[in-house]
Amino acid sequence: MTGLIFRRLAIGLVTMWAVSLLVFASTEILPGDVAESILGKEAPDDVIAAMRERLGLNEPAHVRYWDWLSGLFVGDLGVSLGSGREISELIDDRLWNTVRLASVTAIIAVPLAVILGLISAMRAGTVMDRSISIGTLCMISLPEFFVAALLVYVFAVQLRWLPALPIVRPDQSLWSSLTSIVLPVMTLTFAVLAHMARMTRNAVINVLSSAYVEMALLKGVPNWRIILFHAFPNALSPIINVIALNLAYLVAGVVIVETAFGYPGLARLMVDAVGTRDVPLVQACGMIFCATYVLLNLLADVLSILSNPRLRTQK
């Protein structure tokens, strides 16, 4: 088992490296260079040259890649082009805001999705199952910003129950910080719930159609026992996988949700940085998001190895 886990960890490490390479390369692929595209083609040559100097673009690409990568390891993310401030300083608060948004969503969405998926799987083929299936399919098809706009319109504008724009201040009370993220959390839950419920359903259905469940059924074991003691332990590994994968969906979801609500999180910082072509900031934020995504996928795989006895004993 340890061998298998180490192998998976090694693959994760290679993936991370590939990701860092691609993130770095994204600034290299354009014709001309970053300095020119930031300043525009009409900028005088000496200004461009100064910008190149400032960005360190005169070094060969592999040297700059190495500098950038080794900087990441010691937490030196470089300097933002837009504000001239240290990126690590800019990111600090933003990161925690995003983590808070994502973790509150996860706490709500994960149990809800697993329950929906279980209901759907237990009633597979019935009208209830089809309704959940069509309902979740519709949820997947709706853009997050539609859900965001609709929720704001209903709850903030028409009913006036909740603030439309989240106000996040360090000094605010717990209650107001909670009410201010209700709408973003609802939108994000909506976005990940459907995927998670569908995948849970499939994982459980897969287990329910196995021979030992049929055996249990034939020997007259009650339904709830079959689900809880026969199917669930075996579906655990795929379900854990589903959950980790869907936490990764959160990474994508927060980009839209933070922009829609003007929530001061890391994703919004990144979108703004993309808009102003603040390349080092885009790279730093991109690296944080992608690393999280890769790590969650890695975690999913490791957990499913650990929760599967057959994989556990494999050499």
Partner 1 sequence: MTPDNADASEAIDSPEEQNSNKKRDNLSLTPVAWVSILIIVFWVVVAVFAPVLAPFDKADMVSFESFKVVDEASFLGTDYLGRDVLSRIIYGARMTLGLALIATLISFTTGIVLGFVAAISPGWIDQVLSRTVDAIMAFPSIMLALIIIGGVGTSLPVVILTVALIDATRVFRLSRALALDASVMDYVVVARARGEGVNWIMLHEILPNTITPLAAEFGVRYTFAILFISSLSFLGLGVQPPGADWGVMVKENLQGLLYGAPAALIPAACIGTISVAINLLVDWFLHRSSVMIPEELTG
Of residues 181 and 255, the one with the C-beta less far from partner 1: 255
Backbone angles phi, psi at 80, to 5 degrees: -70, 135
Task: Tell me: does residue 77 bind partner 1 (CB under 8 A).
Answer: no
Task: Tell me: does residue 142 bind partner 1 (CB under 8 A).
Answer: yes
Of 9, 10, 13, 18, the residue at the interface with partner 1 (CB under 8 A) is 18
Of 275, 309, 312, 314, the residue at the interface with partner 1 (CB under 8 A) is 275
- In angstroms, rounded to a whole number, what is the distance separating the alpha carbons of residues 215 and 233? 16
- In angstroms, rounded to a whole number, what is the distance separating the alpha carbons of residues 186 and 34? 39
302 three-state secondary structure = helix
Report the 3 state secondary structure along 208-239.
HCCHHHHHHHHCCCCHHHHHHHHHHHHHHHHH
Task: Tell me: does residue 7 bind partner 1 (CB under 8 A).
Answer: no
Task: Tell me: does residue 26 bind partner 1 (CB under 8 A).
Answer: yes
Identify the burial level of 160 via C-beta atoms within 10 angstroms of its C-beta, where 0-12 means exposed, 13-18 middle and 19 or more buried.
exposed
A 10 A CB-CB count for 10 gives 10
Q: Which stretch binds partner 1 (CB under 8 A): 2-10, 68-76, 77-85, 286-294?
A: 286-294
Of 158, 159, 170, 310, the residue at the interface with partner 1 (CB under 8 A) is 158
Closest CA to 132 of 38, 185, 199, 81: 199
Of residues 10 and 150, the one with the C-beta less far from partner 1: 150
Task: Tell me: does residue 137 bind partner 1 (CB under 8 A).
Answer: yes
Of 117, 201, 240, 305, the residue at the interface with partner 1 (CB under 8 A) is 201
Task: Tell me: does residue 179 bind partner 1 (CB under 8 A).
Answer: no
Q: Are 286 and 20 in contact (CB under 8 A)?
A: no
| Interface characters, 33-52, with partner 1 (x: CB under 8 A) | -x--x---------------
Closest CA to 271 of 94, 34, 85: 94
Of residues 259 and 304, the one with the C-beta less far from partner 1: 259
| Alpha-carbon distances of 60 from 10, 38, 67, 70, 127, rounded to whole Å | 29, 20, 11, 16, 63
Q: Which stretch binds partner 1 (CB under 8 A): 1-9, 44-52, 86-94, 135-143?
A: 135-143
Of 9, 10, 13, 30, the residue at the interface with partner 1 (CB under 8 A) is 30
Task: Tell me: does residue 206 bind partner 1 (CB under 8 A).
Answer: yes
Of residues 189 and 249, the one with the C-beta less far from partner 1: 249
Q: Which own/partner pairs from 233-238 qualify as long-range (CB within 8 Å, at least 24 positions apart)? A: 234/207, 234/210, 235/203, 235/204, 235/206, 235/207, 236/307, 237/303, 237/304, 237/307, 237/308, 238/199, 238/203, 238/206, 238/207, 238/304
Tokens of 314: 């494999």
Q: Which stretch binds partner 1 (CB under 8 A): 15-23, 56-64, 90-98, 171-179?
A: 15-23
A 10 A CB-CB count for 34 gives 18
Of residues 54 and 130, the one with the C-beta less far from partner 1: 130
Task: Tell me: does residue 248 bind partner 1 (CB under 8 A).
Answer: yes
Please give the residue ranges that form the binding site for partner 1 (CB under 8 A). Answer: 15, 18-19, 22-23, 26-30, 34, 37, 124-127, 129-130, 133-134, 137-138, 140-146, 149-150, 152-153, 156-158, 164-165, 198-199, 201-202, 205-206, 208-209, 248, 251-252, 255-256, 259-260, 270-271, 273-275, 277-279, 282-283, 286, 289-290, 293-294, 297
